[in-house]
Chain A
Amino acid sequence: MSRIQTTFATLKQQGKTALIPYITAGDPHPKHTVNLMHTLVKNGADMIELGVPFSDPMADGPVIQRASERALVHKVGLTAVLDMVKEFRQTNQTTPIVLMGYANPIEAIGPTVFADRAKAADVDGVITVDYPPEECGEFVKELRARDIDPVFLLSPTTEPKRVELIVNQASGFVYYVSLKGVTGAANLDIVEVSARVASIRQQTNLPVGVGFGIRDAATAKATAAIADAVVVGSRMVQEIEASNDDNLLENVAALMKELKTAVDAA
């Protein structure tokens, strides 16, 4: 069983929902990233989504876009991100790490080399925003051959027929994007999300994570009640953006605790 599968199985036994924070690797500075990852775990992260900075993050809103820009000032690319995962693994062998990014950095080294390096760094899953299943057959094969889970996004506009196509390629979990629009957009409609998640569950046994629009304890709790995992991205990155070197870990820890309490209370 992969780390991701083990994590979901354990949480299920405990009747709990996973909390998955997202941070962009290298934001606000590469020296902080591994410490931030450990802080996230210490304060309740069941899994970490680690963003790979990209020069043209088309599917992201301004918050995560700025995080990418801060990281790119320090030239944090795929190689540097994989080194951070390796460093994290020196003291943590249990928390799954899912990379989230865009196709071009993978294209630049090719899917085989990427999969080899991700495996060597002990990455557990990969979300590639602009690789829809129709365009990434070979990539998915390379990942699965190395027991790395290809995680796909489902959106409010994804038709049931496409959901089937996607869940057939995916493993680990699927990630339901609860809003139209880019990351960090407003207003989560929990009733609609709940109906969509229920319908996705009819088509797959994979755990369903929900993200986009979860910004506080209340939305985290409401989402946790209907999903297998709650993903918090822009809100986490906002906290990082608003912090300085001295209070960064402390602020992130406080936010994580608040979210964890909410998710566990669902």
Chain B
Amino acid sequence: MQLYDMPDARGHFGQFGGTFVAETLVEALDELRVMYEKYRHDPEFLAEYAYDLKHFVGRPSPIYHAKRLSDQIGGAQIFLKREDLNHTGAHKINNTIGQALLAKRMGKPRVIAETGAGQHGVATATIAARLGLECVVYMGSEDVKRQAPNVFRMKLLGATVVPVESGSKTLKDALNEAMRDWVTNVHNTFYIIGTVAGPHPYPMMVRDFQAVIGVEAKEQMMEMAGRQPDAVVACVGGGSNAMGIFYPYIDVPNVRLIGVEAAGHGIETGMHAAPLTANSPVGVLHGNRTYLMQDADGQIIETHSVSAGLDYPGVGPEHAWLKDIKRAEYVAITDDEAMSAFHNLCRTEGIIPALESSHALAHAQKMAKTMSKDQIVLVNLSGRGDKDINTVAKLANITL
């Protein structure tokens, strides 16, 4: 039984989280909260969800002992939770299935989503196709250019992709635009948020749907190693894969939880996406209160990361809380460090990791070096890197 019992009834994690939205959205969020409460413990709903995770996604995803990598590092044993092996190639599908099944039960024929790198958009388009729901995905026009293959995948799956031209033309602007759509079409539309941010109940709901990662990992670690890891490491943009693997471990003593943010060109340059590591101030954006990258006027500032999935100025409110209560630690890895870990995993283990996950790998390698050979670091390999080959090639000045 979990002792940790967050958030409160209105979605607060201490001072973080909450429901900071325009009045027009309040009723829609109330409806969603009530429906989610109704179904989150409903055996029939959970059975349907479990069936899809098994037969459509291919769960459980394995845990893999990266022996050659561990030997190369010469320290702790590195284990990988293989979310990259899921259908659509990342952890995002765990959540989109849960929310889409809820949309269906709520009688909403249309789903919308925001996406940065395109992984959440693809995962939403995928389940929408499977359930016969209309699907519209908002994506910053910069990201549309950077992630052309994913845009095409969404279109193949029957989704409409809307490029967003406002603001910095990236993930946060896509989120703004999706919110605007939802306000306008709330009667027939379900907004599938991809990360543990947004207004209550999203941070809690997305965490719950992603918690399957940690639940499986706890069992699998016992089977494979006879014990739990010394540390669990996951990358954090909004933080959904990290919350998914952290949550079931929160009450397990002696397991360090380490979230890895994107340091971009370096925290000191200001060109990063690491609000927790950089000690950014608390603020309100996208419906919740959390640590936020902003200027003195409270304007949200532009972020930088080589990985589009981590390129977000805020962080899920539960991460802000776990940082404050010191249950989780947060560090940051630069673009260069992540790239180097990316190439290293390709060559030592035959696995092409997502650039997001490469941040977690880079930190795991750093810390493993300082640990003994009988210790274990479990890395959430949140996605595969096929989507990133254009970015990687471009950085190496290679034309594909």
Interfacial residues, chain A to chain B (CB-CB below 8 A): 53-59, 61-62, 65, 69, 72, 75, 77-79, 102-109, 129-132, 134-135, 152-159, 162, 166, 177, 180-182, 185
Contact = CB atoms under 8 A, between A and B. Distances in A.
Which residue of A57, A75, A107 has the most chain B CB atoms within 10 A of its CB atom?
Answer: A107
A135 B20 contact: yes
A105 B298 contact: yes
Nearest to A79: B297
A158 B299 contact: no
A64 B299 CA distance: 16
Interface string B265-300: 000000000000000011111110100101111111
Given A77-B297, A107-B283, A58 B180 contact: yes
B131 interface: no
A130 B19 CA distance: 8
A154 B23 contact: yes
A182 B110 CA distance: 19
Nearest 10 CB-CB pairings of A with B: A77-B297, A108-B298, A105-B298, A181-B184, A157-B27, A59-B22, A103-B284, A55-B299, A155-B24, A104-B298
B163 to A, nearest CB: 14
Contacts of B282: 107
Given A105-B299, A106-B298, A180 B23 contact: no
A205 to B, nearest CB: 20
Given A61-B180, A180-B184, A185-B184, A158 B26 contact: yes
A61 to B, nearest CB: 7
A134 B300 contact: no
For chain B, give the interface size range: 35 or more
A75 B176 CA distance: 21
Given A56-B300, A77-B297, A157-B27, A130 B292 contact: no
Contacts of A129: 22
Contacts of A157: 23-24, 26-28, 186
A104 B285 contact: yes
Contacts of A103: 20, 284
A78 B294 CA distance: 14
B184 A153 contact: no
Contact of B20 (A65, A109, A131, A159): A131
Given A135-B20, A157-B23, 6 more contacts: A58-B286, A77-B299, A103-B20, A106-B298, A107-B283, A162-B26
B297 A78 contact: yes
Contacts of B281: 108
B18 A135 contact: yes
A134 B180 CA distance: 22
A155 B385 CA distance: 45
Contacts of A61: 180
